[in-house]
Amino acid sequence: MIIKSIEDKDLRIKIMREDTAAGMLQALERIYTSPSRKIYLNQKLNGFKMNESRSVEENIDEFQGLVSDLSYNNVSVSDEEQVLLLLHSLPERFDHLRDVIRYCGRNFTPDYVVSAVLTKELEFDRRER
């Protein structure tokens, strides 16, 4: 069952070497919690830019997934760092929102920024109609 649930061929091959389900789960844990995995996830988060061919929601889901993966690997990303990285990842059309949040002098939570970005995206969609 474990093998069938893994779509990535290379990953499937790596865990098929194990004889038991427990061994497969341990192999997965080793792969996903290795120091190189932490470095990879950190680099991916720090270089994250929203892909304009995808929806803002999809981009935010990817961003939050990276934060969750790092948390699972015992790497904490502070709220302040999440806010800064999220603002930095926004496309140009969000420049005004980015500046308002960055320079207003308040500490915002990641949830607040996500909400503001999604609201602004709705405004953009209404204007285009």
| CA distances to 60, 87, 110 from 92, in Å | 16, 11, 19
Q: Do you know the residue count of the chain?
A: 129
In this predicted structure, the answer to whether residue 108 has a pLDDT above a threshold of 90 is yes
Which amino acid, residue 77? V
Mean local confidence (pLDDT), 99-113:
91
In this prediction, residue 127 has a pLDDT band, given cuts at 50, 70 and 90, of: confident
Helix, strand counts (H, E) of the chain: 7, 0
Least confident of 6-10, 12-16, 109-113: 6-10
Encode pLDDT of 22-44 as tens digits: 988 888 888 777 888 899 999 99
Return the pLDDT at 13: 79
Return the pLDDT at 17: 84
| CA distances to 41, 45, 95, 124 from 100, in Å | 29, 23, 9, 17
In this predicted structure, the answer to whether residue 63 has a pLDDT above a threshold of 80 is yes
Rounded distance between C-alpha atoms, residue 24 and residue 85, angstroms: 35
User: Can you read off the two tokens belonging to residue 16?
Assistant: 């098929």
Domain boundaries, the chain: 1-32, 38-128
Return the pLDDT at 1: 60
Mean local confidence (pLDDT), 45-69:
96
Structure pTM?
A: 0.76
Residue-averaged pLDDT of the chain? 90
